[in-house]
Structure 1
Amino acid sequence: MYSYGDKTRAIELYFRYDRSAAAAINELGYPNRHTLGLWHMEFAENGDLGRGRHRHCDDLQKRAAVDHFFDRGQCLARTVRQLGYPKSKELLASWVDELEPGRRRRRAKAGSFTDDQKREAVIALASRKASAQEVADAVGVTRAVLCKWKNQLLGEEAPCKTEAVPKDMADDVDALRSQAAELQEQIKRLELRKAILEGAVELLGKGQGVDPGMPTNREKALIANSLRPARKLNEMLSELGMGRSSCQYQVEAMRRPDKHAGPRRRISEIFAAGDGRYGYRRVRLDLRSEGVRVSEKVVARLMRELDLVAKRGKKRKCSSYKGEISDAPENLVKRNFHADAPNALRLTDIAEFGIPAVKVYLSPVVDCFDGMVVSWAMSTSPNAELASAMLDAAAATLSEDEHPVGHADRGCHYRWPG
């Protein structure tokens, strides 16, 4: 409770700050806006805060309070809070009994209700269209007591309101209990699935979106064993889609010694000796030379389990650009590759071909008039000798009065000095 001095100080600050309730409350730390408003109303009507004296209420104010009480669901606290008077709920109750004797609904004790009455109250709460407080007022108990009955009959997880209520729910609460049991079973299955997914992520190193149907039987057995004894084996195997006999077989198989322990160790040694450049075929040949007979599939699988991946050299593409080793010739064609007569414009370039034995380079000369290959030369190296042989063969097809324009990519083999 606030003293007369506290109230007076709050009202003085309220007027000092131009009737700003937020400024006064921020400085004092009390009261709330509603309480400060009541103090201001009392000060405005009486010119003082009364020093603890009760405000006198006439018959009209009493009648207004009683009418408000019956119009707002017969809640004493709500009427006192909204009207700001009288001082207590007990005083308001005396006014109601004085002006409307016998009309006020009195709440019964929670222990005086039978089990059938409690079930009917819970059904009304679950199938209500109004607020829970109105249902509690209609039953004659507090909202807290009504929620306690619901928790006792349906459990704390059951919702306080259902969208669709069966017709026979008014006669029996078994439908609500069945719904609560189904929800509990669904939650249990979801928790089990979550535990399986977390086990797959932790044990198998799979992604967050792993599907329990994707792991192998051995991986499923590992997940199931990791969750025991906190989870039942039958429930986990049903969720994983695995039979009990299959799980037992995988457990016994994991207990047996590894028959590929020797080849596994030797594969790691051979791979390290080859500087990580041997694939599974080369490793298998080395194993066979030592008298160890294993198939290529086994070697490949063991190398995958050991995370042994052979190095692969990068493919090097041929590039004729070696820098500006001489003065760049002028581009006479300028991307106009049309010719009106034979032997007027010729194009050339070098193409690379890969054959099992070696790489071969082809240097042809094409006439732009009809696309005819005038001459060509081949070599195992894209050098100036290849370009010179191609040009000599192309020049031999010309007469003395023919002087065609030759166009190339200005590669180093065309510009090499000499």
Structure 2
Amino acid sequence: MNEKPKRPRFTEEFKADAVRLAMSESVPTARVARDLGVHPNTLYNWVAKHRAEHAGERPTDTVSDDEREELRRLRREVRILKEEREILKKGGSLLRQGVPVTQRYRFINEEKANHPVRTLCRVMRVSRSGFYDWQKRPLSKRARENAALLVQIDEIFEANHKRYGFRRVLRVLLARGHHVGKHRIARLMRENGLFARKRRAFCRTTDSRHIYDVALNKLNREFTAAAPNQAWVGDITYVPTAEGWLYLAVLIDLYSRRVVGWAMSRYIDKKLALGALDMALNHRRPEAGFIHHTDRGSPYAADDYQGALKHAQATVSMSRKGNCWDDAPSESFFSTLKTELIYREEFATRDAARHAILRYLMWYNAHRLHSFNDYVSPMQFERFMLTNDEAA
């Protein structure tokens, strides 16, 4: 007789994050719920409760007429600068020496639906007459095919927040039925300035000088699992903001590479680590004996954290001293996070960084193609394998 699946429980922090995403995103609440792994009705109830509790709150408008006019002027200037910056972010690489001017014309032609031609020509340093003359020239069959292909490449690149390189773009195109080669995709992306951010070298060791006991490395670099919730790995990293550091703790399921628990704080301590563990335990409800692997830093070795693991009947595993590769999946995730988000942004506040990271985690779990899962997202991989198991 099959056991009834355990119903997940959600921490207050997770509920608050989910409500914030649902109320701030332009996508439907039902999609936010799906991407977070929550039933839509549950998220609707959380949002309704939040709105009821904050129904009487209204922002106070104390801005004078002169200040309001100055704000309007500044906003106009900011819009112009943002538009120029957006154009340069997409096509700035085409201004490099040696890139044919026809590539700039092609870029302007593709972007003219989003920006005025006058602005595009000024930013891309070409004359409008030259651009219009180029438009009148007939295109070859290959050029027309490349132009059509580039529309889809750009759509995939933008839909995934400019984080996909040519390999992942190629995977999406192949899934759509396009028979194209990797060199052609790489060339088209390169010529049109569609560059995913390159990884930086990253290996962080942990200060293990504390009074707590440490566990043996029982995981022993076995970074695969036969089913969900058999083995989790975790770590803590830092995110720079203008207000100071924001620390992020995560727990990752080795079965699908899904981030099953996270927490953020201005402090790096056991409370931060416990927040991520509490989310993961309540949401995933693992069976006794699952492996929990982290470094041997004090947040994880602390008595409170170890007590929570003992209560969950976890098998505790820790990396060897100074060896970050014993927790390579966590290091790899943080490298991806920093490459695809942190190094691309400058956060004015910790709150802004927190919101951006929440959006990234939602996208990462639900949509990002993961090479470990044969280029499907962690949540898609779990659903696919569960369906196959039930069919068998």
Name which one, 1 or 2, has greater alpha-carbon Rg. Answer: 1
Is TM more than 0.5 here? no
Give the structure-1-normalised TM-score.
0.23
Q: TM-score, normalised by structure 2?
A: 0.24
